[in-house]
Amino acid sequence: GQRPARPVMTDTHLIPLPRLSEAMRTLVRGFGSSEGEARQVADNLIEANLTGHDSHGIGMLPRYAEAFLEGSLHPNAHVRVEHDGGTLLRLDGQAGFGQVIGREAMALAIERTQASGSCIVALGNSHHLGRIGAWAEQVAAAGLVSLHFVNVISRAIVAPHGGSDARFGTNPFCAGVPLQGREPVILDFATSVIAQGKTRVAMNKGELVAPDCLIDDQGRPTREPRFTVVPPFGALLAFGGHKGFGLALMCELLGGALASGMTQRDHDTGRRRVLNGMFSVLLDPAALTDRGAFEVEALAFLDWVRASPPREGFDAVRVAGEPERIARAERTANGVPVDATTWQEILAAAGRLGLEPSRIDALARDA
C-alpha cells in the first residue's frame, strides 16, 4: 500500500555502540561476507552514524540488501589493478562493498605517495563508497593531503541549475589536510543542498526538510522529503546554485567519465545498486615543501579564523571535521540513535538475507 506522506513522529532507539557493532556485523555476514569484510562494512557504516551522518550509516543496509539480492553488489570482492603507471593507478572495484574497496584503493595510493611524493588514482565500478570523509581520514592518518571527486550511478536525484528534473547524483567532493599533533581538516560534502540519505532519514522520522532543498515531480519547491524517496520523484537542488552544479559536473566528468568510464544518463528507477567512481589526488606535503613551515602557516591561519567572535545563533567558528568529532564523542559515550522506522527496515533486510530478525534485534537491544 501507499505509505502516508507524513508518518507520525517515530520513537528513537538509543543503542550502545558495542551492541550495535555486534548486531550489524552479524547482519553483514548474511551477505555471505567474510569475517573481515563484515567487520569493515559494519564499522564503516556505524562510524558514519557516530559522526552524525546517519544518511550514510546503518540505514543504508536495506538498500545494500536489495542491491545484493538483484545481483548488483558482490560480497568478498577486492580492488583489481587495471593500469599501473607507478604514480598513476586505474582500479576496478568489481562492484564490491565500497567500505572494503575504498580502503584497499586508498591503501595502494598511500603506498605510492609515500614512495614517490604523489599519486593519482582513478577508481571505477565500486559499490557505494559510503562517507567519503572516511577515505580522506585514512589518507590524512598517513600524513598525506588528498582530493576526491566522486560520481554516483543510481537513480538520478539532483536537478541541474535551472532544470526541473533530476539528471545526476549527489556527487560528493572531499579534501583532507593532515596537521601533525592536531586533528586533520576534513572537508566532505554532497554537491546537493542536503545528502539524499538525509531525506530518507527525515521521511522515516516524519519530518519536513528545510526550504529551498527540493523540488517536486512538477519542478515546484517542496519541503516533503518523500519526493526523493518514493514515486512520483522530484529532485534535490545543487547547493549554491550554479556553483554547486558546476562542482557536481566536475565530479561526474572526473569521477565518472574519466575514473570509471561511466556517467549517469538515464532515468532508470528499477535497479537498487549504488555504484561510485572516484578520482583521487594524493600528495605528500614534505615532498613539495618544508613540512614544518607549511604546518606553522596552516595552523596560524586556522587559529586566526577560529578567533572570529561568534555571531548571534552560533557558539563558535567550527572548522571542517570538528562537528563530526563532537558528534563522535557524544554518541560513542551515550549510544547511537536509530529511529524506529529505520530499525524496522534494517530488521526486514536481515530477514531477506535469511537471518532471524528477532536475533539481530536482541543483539542490539536486549539489556
Span 277-300, average pLDDT: 97
Judge whether 124 and 91 are in contact, CB under 8 Å: yes
Provide the 3-class DSSP secondary structure of residue 85.
coil
For the ranges 9-13, 14-18, 150-154, 194-198, which has the lowest average pLDDT?
A: 9-13
Alpha-carbon distance of 6 to 302, in angstroms, equals 43
**C-alpha cell belonging to residue 211:** 526550504
For the ranges 7-11, 207-211, 357-361, which has the lowest average pLDDT?
A: 7-11
Asked whether residue 179 carries a pLDDT value surpassing 60, the answer given is yes
pLDDT at 200: 86
pLDDT at 365: 87
| Per-residue pLDDT tens over the stretch 233-260 | 999 999 999 999 999 999 999 999 999 9
| Per-residue pLDDT tens over the stretch 105-155 | 999 999 999 999 999 999 999 999 999 999 999 999 999 999 999 999 998
Half-sphere exposure of 319 (CA within 13 A, CB side): 18
Span 293-309, average pLDDT: 96
Average pLDDT score over the chain: 94
Compute, in degrees rounded to 10, the torsion defined by CA atoms 327, 332, 334, 340: 80
pLDDT at 205: 87
Half-sphere exposure of 105 (CA within 13 A, CB side): 42
Check whether the bond before 16 is cis (ω within 30° of 0).
no
Asked whether residue 194 carries a pLDDT value surpassing 80, the answer given is yes
Asked whether residue 181 carries a pLDDT value surpassing 90, the answer given is no
pLDDT at 62: 97
Q: 300 forms bridges with which residues in the sheet? A: none
Provide the 3-class DSSP secondary structure of residue 318.
coil
| Per-residue pLDDT tens over the stretch 211-237 | 999 999 999 999 999 999 899 999 999
